[in-house]
Chain A
């Protein structure tokens, strides 16, 4: 049947069939994610409507609003750090959570990767399951556990370890715990994948050359597992930066992060262009981080081959 078709046309038919197969998925994502992102970009340059929505008048007010406050009386611009603070707080929170995820995630990943093969699958499943459990519910569980009159404080009080409840819920620290709790599996799994492939003969060689355990870890294992560590850090940092649920529930509305700032503009505050601008700034930070990472990856693979 196909033997009669000349090769060139067969090739063209083949490409047409490929395009037809790919198109539903690509059209859906293009039409309902890429197009909406463009709408957000456009909206960030428009004037806010009184009851939400936008008025089609071009302005960069939404971006100016990040740095300056308009004086109500004479409309002069006054430098204001209110929104910058939210962005810098998000940065600090996300960076701190990434660091803590690394500090507990690396030893965990290492331990799992050096288990006998039969046990490894079980451990990996144990780390993976929490990721697939509803993030909202996990955060509620954490809030339930750590709130002032929750089981954790009650236990510590009744053991006499503390005299009054430790305040974890509704603090920056609580939000940090929530972020670590949310994204820890993302740190463990990529590090695990690199350590599992790691050639431990290198470690033996280092020991033969009188390196001690911690020198081996610092000078050999960590540098060679850097790709996994970097991948894990990105997978924790990026979602932490735009997190909504952890700061919303564990921050109790006081310790706002970028995600909450964006959400508020489309709910209570009803300033769509400002929300759109905040979303675009977040999106830009994420893309720049990823491009930086891709460049680095590109370089290191070139170096290896």
Chain B
């Protein structure tokens, strides 16, 4: 690595580089190790039995995992779609100058981020039981929409705040009415924010374990619940394989959202 005049660099602290690398090893070490072992042909952690995709095939053929994956996808797609639509509406409604109740509305939207997950989880459970909403896919979806809204809202709102009013003023000067300037000017500019929001809500929903665990009821299961159930009976290479797949899905979507964010920053400046 190229270093410039380190001796006089006032910003440099000895050891900070090493700590940063150590942090990276700490953050990525465990997931890299679990990914490597998911390809080990034999169960052993001491001997490398050769590269194999057997555990992946085994995971794919597992009925429980198949069903859980389907459920997870159905829930994540619907919950994040609904949350993104509602969050977009909310961001548009809250846009612009300060008015009474704006801060309260913002506080309510970010409430799911503040309440500890375990508290939201038991609260949803007792509420569903009290009101008589049957526990299953539907109750999971409903609970997911709640905590997906702030995750979708934040990037959408950030993008919306970056759209200066003069774009719409220009559109109006060219005789566009309110609807036209919204559809042809604001919405296309807002689109990257909406996509980012959807992706984040999707990952959060796909990954959720604690809240889902409480509102799932006995019948329904999602991928994280299935993985947790398997872990209870012992760590197997099959778990490593499923985990690795889910890791890759998350990494893919986060990177995608990051790239959209950078592209968005470039188009805005």
Is the CB–CB distance between B20 and A140 below 8 Å?
A: no
Proximity bits, A215-233, B CB within 8 Å = 1, else 0: 0110000000000000000
Contact across chains for A145 and B143 when beta carbons are under 8 A apart = no
Q: A140-B227, A266-B214 are in contact. Are A200 and B118 (CB under 8 A)?
A: no
Q: B243 near A140 (CB under 8 angstroms)?
A: yes
Q: Does A32 contact B (CB under 8 A)?
A: yes
Q: Nearest Cβ in chain B — how far from A251, in angstroms?
A: 14
Q: Which of B22, B34, B87, B111 contacts A144 (CB 8 A)?
A: B34
Distance A24 CA – B19 CA, assembled complex (angstroms): 46
Q: How far is the CB of B130 from chain A (nearest CB, A)?
A: 6
User: In chain B, what residue has the closest Cβ to A33?
Assistant: B146
Closest to A207 in B: B10
> Is the CB–CB distance between A53 and B129 below 8 Å?
yes
The reply on B116 being an interface residue by CB < 8 A is: yes
Chain A interface, DSSP helix/strand/loop, else mixed? helix
On chain A, the residues within 8 Å of B250 by CB distance are 129, 132-134
Q: Is B41 an interface position by the 8 A CB rule?
A: no
Residues of chain A in range 149-188 having any CB-CB distance to chain B below 8 Å: 149-151, 154, 181, 184-185, 188
**Which single residue of chain A is at the shortest CB-CB distance from B235?**
A144
Q: Using Cβ atoms and an 8 Å threshold, which residues of chain B touch A249?
A: 231
- Chain A interface size, as a band, is 35 or more
Residues of the B chain whose Cβ atoms lie less than 8 Å from the Cβ of A128: 254, 258
Say yes or no: A40 contacts B86, CB within 8 Å.
no
Interface size of B by CB at 8 A reads: 85
- A140 CB to closest chain B CB, in angstroms? 6
A188 to B26, CA, bound (A): 14
CA distance A151 to B105 in the complex (A): 49
Q: Report whether B33 and A111 are in contact in the complex, using a CB–CB cutoff of 8 Å.
A: no
Confirm or deny: A112 has a beta carbon within 8 angstroms of a beta carbon on chain B: yes
Question: A37 CA to B33 CA in the complex, in Å?
Answer: 40
Q: Is B70 an interface residue when CB atoms closer than 8 A count as contact?
A: no
Does B251 sit within 8 A of A, measured CB to CB? yes
B94 touching A145, Cβ below 8 Å: no
A39 CA / B29 CA spacing, docked (Å): 43
B191 on the A face (CB < 8 A): no
Q: How far is the CA of A35 from the CA of B246 in the complex (A)?
A: 33
Residues of A within 8 A of B115 (CB): 33, 37, 283, 286
The B interface is mostly helix, strand or loop, or mixed, namely: helix
Query: Does A262 contact B119, Cβ atoms closer than 8 Å?
Result: yes
B residues within 8 A CB of A181?
Answer: 26-27, 30
Q: Please name the residue on chain B nearest to A290 by beta carbon.
A: B114
B122 within 8 A of A: yes
| A32 close to B33 (CB less than 8 A) | no
Chain B CB within 8 A of A89 CB? no
Stretch of B49-57, B58-66, B163-171, B203-211 with 4 or more beta carbons under 8 angstroms from chain A: B203-211
Contact partner of A151 among B45, B108, B112, B255, CB < 8 A?
A: B45
Partner of A37, one of B23, B27, B123, B224: B123
B92 at the interface (CB under 8 A from A): yes
Residues in chain A near residue B34, CB distance under 8 A = 137, 140-141, 144-145
Contact A242 B254 (CB under 8 A): no
With a cutoff of 8 Å between Cβ atoms, the chain A residues found around residue B28 in the complex are: 130
Residues of A within 8 A of B (CB): 1-2, 15, 17-22, 24-26, 28-30, 32-37, 39-40, 43, 53, 104-105, 107-108, 110-112, 114, 121, 123, 125-130, 132-138, 140-145, 147, 149-151, 154, 181, 184-185, 188, 200, 203-204, 207, 213, 216-217, 238-239, 241-242, 244-245, 249, 258-259, 262-263, 265-266, 272, 275-276, 279, 282-283, 286, 290
Give me 5 other A-B pairs in contact (C-beta within 8 A), A32-B143, A132-B253 excluded. Answer: A18-B94, A21-B92, A121-B262, A127-B27, A266-B126
Q: List 11 A-B contacts (CB under 8 A).
A: A1-B177, A28-B149, A35-B127, A40-B126, A104-B22, A126-B24, A133-B251, A140-B34, A181-B27, A258-B118, A276-B126
